[in-house]
């Protein structure tokens, strides 16, 4: 058979496969061979999808909601999302400001395609979620990484990174992977810069429901951009509602952006299945109860995981949100193993625990430990790591 080597387009050659997704398939392979691996690598709650959501989805399927539908999403869901944002963050918006798509990953991809020309710049604070820079590169734009104080946003550093080519600043609070929440004052300053320089802020609020110390999360729009002049809120149903496999998320933005997305998505996936949207509506109708449960459970897990992790890595910041610990590895361990990647591999092989090296998130010398796992597994996994180090 003739073997050909296909040369992929440069925009594909320029990006790397999601390393966390890559590792997840290695771990699935090890598990298939009978290895018992404790997963602290995946950003996915281990709880089943709430029954009300499953029932609403099934009902929609039984009732025949299986046809092509409207590109930006069905009015019932767009209205419910607008009401949620008006209630939670006191925004002055309507359903016309809401656009539904296949998970927030695809929304981010679509937004960079919509807004960025070649060589435009997108500012990304480190540590960052792995898909941000790759989705930017897929649009031919350049990610510009800015330092933070171990995940604490610093508006002065962002200001220094702004150039005439800056199109977007990404904010992700609570942050994957740091678990920290950005300071309101710093967000306000970044918003003022965005307004002054005609820059958009993409606020990825995937972990909005998982805030441990405060009652209600406020993003940049809720803080000082209630009309969504410069802020694009990107949101996912995956984390709060344990709907990772449903693939549904949304963006709330000004109507100009929504019109652009409508044009783009009409040629990409067309629309999101209506039965999925009915499941998402049930999620929002039961949001308070689901959120309360998730917060209570994740607060217990956070406290447990944090105290055990500190015994291994003394420099572990206490997460304020999301479900990640982001410890700094002691110098002697880096010297012994060579890098965070080598240490993560050692932990996988010897302790049978999967976690991710911080260099995947732009901060070598750290690790990301997802505590989206049972208390029993948190205890087992962290004590196995302690034993082998």
**How far apart are alpha carbons 167 and 143 in whole angstroms?**
11
Q: CB-wise, 89 or 351, nearer to ligand PLP? A: 89
Whole-number Cα distances in Å, 12 to 136, 140, 223, 343 = 12, 10, 37, 29
Residue among 134 and 204 whose Cβ is closer to ligand PLP:
204
Element spanning 195, H or E? helix 184-197
Shortest separation between residue 100's beta carbon and ligand PLP, angstroms? 11
Residues paired with residue 122 on neighbouring β-strands, in sequence order: 143, 168
Q: CB of residue 11 vs ligand PLP: minimum separation in angstroms?
A: 20
Stated as kind and residue range, the H or E segment containing 353 is strand 353-354
Task: Tell the smallest beta-carbon distance from residue 203 to ligand PLP (Å).
Answer: 11
Number of neighbours of residue 235 by Cβ within 10 angstroms: 24
Closer CB to ligand PLP, 238 or 320, in the complex: 238
Question: Between residues 249 and 327, which has the closer beta carbon with respect to ligand PLP?
Answer: 249
In the complex with ligand PLP, the residue whose CB is nearer, 20 or 333, is 20
Shortest separation between residue 387's beta carbon and ligand PLP, angstroms: 29
388 vs 36: CA distance, rounded Å? 16
Task: Give contact residues for ligand PLP (rule: CB under 6 A).
Answer: 43, 103-105, 129, 172, 176, 204, 206, 236, 238, 244, 249
Strand 121-125: give its sheet, edge to edge. Answer: 98-101, 249-252, 231-236, 200-204, 166-172, 121-125, 142-146
CA neighbor of 374 nearest in space, from 324, 300, 308, 316: 300
CB of 117 vs ligand PLP, minimal distance in Å: 24
| Cβ-based neighbour number of residue 40 at 10 Å | 27
- Give the nearest distance from C-beta 246 to ligand PLP in angstroms: 9
Select 165 or 291, whichever has its Cβ closest to ligand PLP: 291
In angstroms, rounded to a whole number, what is the distance separating the alpha carbons of residues 322 and 217? 12
Q: What is the distance between the alpha carbons of residues 277 and 59, in angstroms, rounded to a whole number?
A: 12
């Amino acid at each position: 058979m003739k073997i050909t080597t296909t040369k992929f387009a440069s925009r594909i050659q320029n990006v790397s496969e999601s390393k966390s997704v890559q590792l997840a398939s290695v771990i699935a392979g090890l598990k298939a061979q009978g290895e018992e691996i404790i997963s602290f690598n995946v950003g996915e709650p281990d709880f089943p999808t709430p029954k009300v959501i499953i029932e609403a989805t099934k009902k929609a399927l039984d009732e025949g909601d299986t046809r092509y539908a409207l590109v930006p999403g069905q009015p019932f869901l767009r209205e419910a999302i607008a009401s949620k944002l008006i209630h939670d963050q006191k925004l002055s918006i309507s359903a016309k400001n809401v656009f539904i798509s296949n998970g927030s990953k695809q929304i981010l991809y679509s937004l960079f395609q919509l807004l960025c020309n070649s060589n435009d710049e997108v500012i990304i604070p480190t540590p960052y979620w792995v898909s941000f820079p790759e989705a930017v590169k897929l649009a031919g734009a350049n990610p510009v990484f800015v330092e933070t104080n171990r995940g604490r946003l610093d508006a002065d550093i962002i200001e220094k990174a702004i150039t005439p080519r800056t199109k977007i600043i990404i904010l992700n609070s609570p942050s994957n992977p740091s678990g920290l929440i950005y300071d309101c004052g710093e967000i306000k300053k970044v918003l003022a810069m965005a307004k002054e320089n005609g820059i958009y802020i993409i606020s990825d609020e995937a972990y909005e429901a998982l805030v441990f110390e405060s009652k209600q999360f406020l993003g940049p729009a809720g803080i000082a951009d209630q009309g969504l002049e410069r802020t694009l809120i990107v949101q996912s149903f995956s984390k709060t509602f344990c709907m990772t496999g449903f693939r549904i998320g949304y963006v709330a933005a000004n109507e100009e952006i929504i019109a652009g997305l409508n044009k783009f998505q009409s040629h990409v996936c067309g629309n999101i299945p209506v039965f999925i949207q009915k499941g998402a509506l049930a999620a929002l109708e039961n949001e308070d109860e689901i959120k309360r449960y998730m917060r209570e459970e994740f607060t217990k897990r956070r406290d447990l995981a944090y105290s055990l992790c500190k015994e291994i890595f003394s420099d572990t910041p206490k997460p304020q949100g999301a479900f990640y610990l982001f410890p700094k590895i002691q110098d002697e361990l880096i010297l012994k193993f060579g890098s965070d990647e080598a240490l993560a591999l050692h932990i996988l092989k010897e302790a049978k625990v999967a976690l991710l090296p911080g260099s995947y998130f732009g901060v070598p010398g750290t690790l990301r430990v997802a505590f989206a796992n049972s208390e029993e597994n948190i205890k087992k996994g962290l004590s196995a790591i302690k034993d082998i180090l």
